[in-house]
Every structure is written in structure tokens, then in C-alpha cells.
């Protein structure tokens, strides 16, 4: 028994209807609402077939049909068409996105916000992983008798610094030597390379000479590098799930909230996902807590190098077509925003 055109048409109608109404759809409603050219009885026969084939399920005998995850998978792979966004939508998105383009993090946060507002789902965005970002500039600046500022700039333009209060007095000369020595050792290295460098060895001889200065500073340097490697997770539209029938139940809502609030786990899940547009439906998710969710993620690029991710999470019943269109438009424009402006806040 194959999926002839009529079956496909009926399946598509069922999926489309269910996605918007969240109600099991019956043969009569189907024949009234959609112009299928056949009677409810025929539709019933076809639906029975579709159920045998695993595309539909039955909450109970006297209920309408509900698409299975297999149906969504088919829908995503073959039926759904990407919806071209209207000029107005595009403009609205672009306007918000370009609002504060000087800070990558802010833009990423905005992107998640836009996404959640358009989709009415929970949206998220990860700031880029900086693993391959290289150290460009390292400096130690005297601020006062007991305070120096450690400053690190990466090629991607990320700046990080910490005010260090030293336990021991220091001389500007020693500071300058250490600063130069660090630059010599680390400049041009990627963040992850830098983290594996055995610094103690490199500075062994100097440490005594500089009265513990390096001993004071290097641990902080490494800690700062680690922090630069951290990605930030932005989440928006958390409360949207309360408006979704699937989560109109305190336990469901709780489970969902708890899942997305385990930010480290969630971040790990996102990072480990393949690059590019990826849709995982229900059981396809490896995370136990996501087995009744669908997750859509996409990769964005900045300067053609760094990559981060953004996407949405919600019930398996979601508007896959529209959502992927918005996500793709967003990823393109995050890339563009930064390619065109070099991360500065002047638009071309």
C-alpha cells in the first residue's frame, strides 16, 4: 500500500489542521473544511489506511485522528513548504536585529527575542564558541599600588579583563616584563591551545625574579581564558508555553520549565547538535526530557568563522514551515549584520 496522491493530500490536511487547532481532526470536518472532492466515508477509509501505515494515531475510538511523529517527519522532509516572509515581517525583524549591533551578545539576545515573539514559542540563542578565536593582545596595566588590570583581546574582538588585587607589591617594570612575556607566549594561539600550554614551565625562571607576580597573575589569566571560552545561552518567551494546549497542565508545564532551566545541560545539548538547520521531532531527541518536544536549531555565522546556534523548542505540533523560514532569515541576517558592519555600530 503506497502513499498515493490522495492519501498525501489528506495527510497534509490533517497535519495542517491539527497544527493550528490542536484538536484531533475527524473525517467530516476534513471534508467540509478542505476541498478534497470525496465524501467523509472515503476519507475515513483513507485515514484507516494512513493509520495502518503509522502516520496517524487515534487517542480513542471515537476521536478524530492525530498525526504521528512519523507524519511530522514526512511533513518536514517532503510536504512543508517554506513560507516566504512578507516585506513587512522582514523589515520588522531587521529593524530590531540591527538595533544594537555593536555588541554581538546583545544582537544574539535580540534574535532570540524576535524568534520567540514571532513563533510564540520558547526561543534560545547561543553566543559563538570561541575555541578557534586567537589571542591578539594581552596587557597588564598598573592601576594603583595593589591593583593591576589584566586585559585580553581576541581576534574576533572579544575583550575581557579583570581587576586583580595583588597580595604582594609589584614594580611597573616587573609588570611590563611579565606582560611582554605573556604576549610572546600566547599571542596568536587559539583560546583552547592557550589553555593547554604549561605556563608554569615557561615562567619558571622568571617567577622568583618577579617576586611571585606571575604566580599571582597566571591563575587569573587561565581563569579568564576559560571564561572567554564560555558560551552564553539566551532564552526568551519562556512563559509562552503556558498558552500552548499541550502544556495546559501543571505537570507538563513543570517538566518543560525544569528542562529549559537546566541551562548547562540544555547548552550542551545544543552545542552537540549538527550544524545547519536541524529539526528533531519527539523521540528523535536523544534527551529523555525532550522526547515529547520538537527542537529546531540553526547555525549562524559571524565573519564567516565563528558559529553559534539559535532555535526554538516546543510541542511536536508546531508550525515547522513558518518557523524554519523565520529562523533561516534570522541566521542570514545575523551573519550579514556583522559581515557588513564589522561589529561596529554604524550601518553601511
Partner DNA sequence: GTTAGCACTCACCTAATAAGAGTGCTAACA
Partner DNA sequence: TGTTAGCACTCTTATTAGGTGAGTGCTAAC
The SS3 assignment for 190 reads strand
Q: Given the complex with DNA, which of 17 and 133 has the nearer CB atom?
A: 17
Q: CA–CA separation, 268 vs 319, rounded Å?
A: 25
* Minimum gap (Å) between residue 298 Cβ and a copy of itself: 25
Residue with cell 595583588: 166
**Partner in contact with 141, chosen from a copy of itself, DNA, none, beta carbon below 5 to 8 Å by kind:** a copy of itself
Cell numbers given for 343: 561589529
**Partner in contact with 180, chosen from DNA, a copy of itself, none, beta carbon below 5 to 8 Å by kind:** none
> CB neighbours (10 Å) of residue 38?
15
**Partner in contact with 62, chosen from a copy of itself, DNA, none, beta carbon below 5 to 8 Å by kind:** DNA
* Minimum gap (Å) between residue 48 Cβ and a copy of itself: 36
Of how many residues is the chain composed?
348
Q: Using CB under 7 A as the criterion, which residues of the chain lie in contact with DNA when the complex forms? A: 6, 24-29, 37-42, 44-45, 47-48, 51, 58-65
**Partner in contact with 258, chosen from DNA, a copy of itself, none, beta carbon below 5 to 8 Å by kind:** a copy of itself
| DSSP secondary structure letter of residue 314 | E
**Partner in contact with 42, chosen from DNA, a copy of itself, none, beta carbon below 5 to 8 Å by kind:** DNA
**226 CA to centre of own chain:** 21
**Partner in contact with 39, chosen from a copy of itself, DNA, none, beta carbon below 5 to 8 Å by kind:** DNA
* b/e per residue 241-251 (b: at least 16 CB within 10 A): beebebbeeee
**Partner in contact with 144, chosen from DNA, a copy of itself, none, beta carbon below 5 to 8 Å by kind:** a copy of itself
* Minimum gap (Å) between residue 39 Cβ and DNA: 4
Q: CA–CA separation, 184 vs 191, rounded Å?
A: 15
Q: Given the complex with DNA, which of 7 and 70 has the nearer CB atom?
A: 7
Whether the CA torsion 91, 93, 96, 99 is positive or negative: it is negative
Q: Given the complex with DNA, which of 59 and 188 has the nearer CB atom?
A: 59
Q: Given the complex with a copy of itself, which of 320 and 338 has the nearer CB atom?
A: 338
* Minimum gap (Å) between residue 60 Cβ and DNA: 3
As to burial, measured by CB atoms within 10 angstroms (0-12 exposed, 13-18 middle, 19+ buried), residue 278 is middle
* Minimum gap (Å) between residue 323 Cβ and DNA: 26
Q: Using CB under 8 A as the criterion, which residues of the chain lie in contact with a copy of itself when the complex forms? A: 102-103, 136-137, 139, 141, 143-144, 147, 149, 151, 153, 157-159, 161-165, 167, 220, 238-239, 242, 248-250, 253-254, 257-258, 261, 342-344, 346
Q: Given the complex with a copy of itself, which of 8 and 153 has the nearer CB atom?
A: 153
Q: What is the DSSP string of 58-127?
A: -SSTTS-BEE-HHHHHHIIIII--PPPPPHHHHHHHHHHHTTTTTSHHHHHHHHHHHHHHHHTSEEEEEP
Q: Given the complex with DNA, which of 20 and 230 has the nearer CB atom?
A: 20
Helix axes 87-97, 320-341, angle to 10 degrees: 50
**Partner in contact with 38, chosen from DNA, a copy of itself, none, beta carbon below 5 to 8 Å by kind:** DNA
φ, ψ of residue 224 to 5 degrees: the values are: -65, -40
* Minimum gap (Å) between residue 347 Cβ and a copy of itself: 12
User: Which H/E stretch holds residue 55?
Assistant: none
* Minimum gap (Å) between residue 242 Cβ and DNA: 19
Amino acid at each position: 500500500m503506497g502513499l498515493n496522491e490522495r492519501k498525501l493530500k489528506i495527510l497534509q490536511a490533517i497535519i495542517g489542521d491539527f497544527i493550528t487547532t490542536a484538536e484531533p481532526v475527524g473525517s467530516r470536518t476534513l471534508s467540509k473544511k478542505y476541498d478534497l472532492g470525496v465524501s467523509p466515508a472515503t476519507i475515513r477509509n483513507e485515514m484507516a489506511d494512513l493509520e495502518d501505515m503509522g502516520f496517524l494515531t487515534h487517542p480513542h475510538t471515537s476521536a478524530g485522528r492525530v498525526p504521528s511523529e512519523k507524519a511530522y517527519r514526512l511533513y518536514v522532509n517532503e510536504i512543508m513548504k517554506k513560507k516566504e516572509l512578507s516585506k513587512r515581517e522582514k523589515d520588522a525583524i531587521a529593524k530590531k536585529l540591527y538595533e544594537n549591533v555593536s555588541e554581538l551578545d546583545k544582537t544574539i539576545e535580540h534574535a532570540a527575542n524576535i524568534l520567540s515573539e514571532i513563533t510564540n514559542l520558547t526561543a534560545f540563542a547561543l553566543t559563538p564558541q570561541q575555541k578557534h578565536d586567537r589571542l591578539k593582545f594581552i596587557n597588564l596595566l598598573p592601576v594603583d599600588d595593589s591593583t593591576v588590570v589584566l586585559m585580553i583581546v581576541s581576534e574576533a574582538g572579544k575583550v575581557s579583563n579583570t581587576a586583580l588585587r595583588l597580595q604582594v607589591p609589584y614594580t611597573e617594570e616587573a609588570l611590563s616584563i611579565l606582560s611582554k612575556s605573556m604576549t610572546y607566549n600566547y599571542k596568536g594561539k587559539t583560546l583552547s591551545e592557550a589553555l593547554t600550554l604549561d605556563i608554569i614551565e615557561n615562567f619558571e625562571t622568571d617567577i622568583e625574579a618577579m617576586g611571585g607576580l606571575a604566580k599571582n597573575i597566571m591563575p587569573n589569566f587561565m581563569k579568564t581564558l576559560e571564561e572567554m571560552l564560555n558560551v552564553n545561552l539566551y532564552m526568551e518567551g519562556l512563559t509562552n508555553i503556558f498558552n500552548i494546549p499541550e502544556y495546559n497542565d501543571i505537570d507538563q508545564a513543570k517538566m518543560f520549565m525544569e528542562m529549559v532551566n537546566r541551562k548547562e545541560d540544555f547548552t550542551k545539548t545544543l552545542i552537540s547538535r549538527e550544524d545547519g538547520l536541524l529539526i528533531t521531532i519527539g523521540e528523535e531527541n536523544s534527551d529523555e526530557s525532550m522526547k515529547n518536544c520538537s527542537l529546531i536549531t540553526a547555525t549562524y555565522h559571524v565573519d564567516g568563522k565563528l558559529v553559534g546556534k539559535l532555535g526554538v523548542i516546543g510541542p511536536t505540533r508546531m508550525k515547522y514551515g513558518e518557523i524554519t523560514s523565520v529562523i533561516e532569515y534570522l541566521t542570514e541576517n545575523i551573519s550579514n549584520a556583522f559581515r557588513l558592519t564589522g561589529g561596529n555600530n554604524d550601518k553601511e
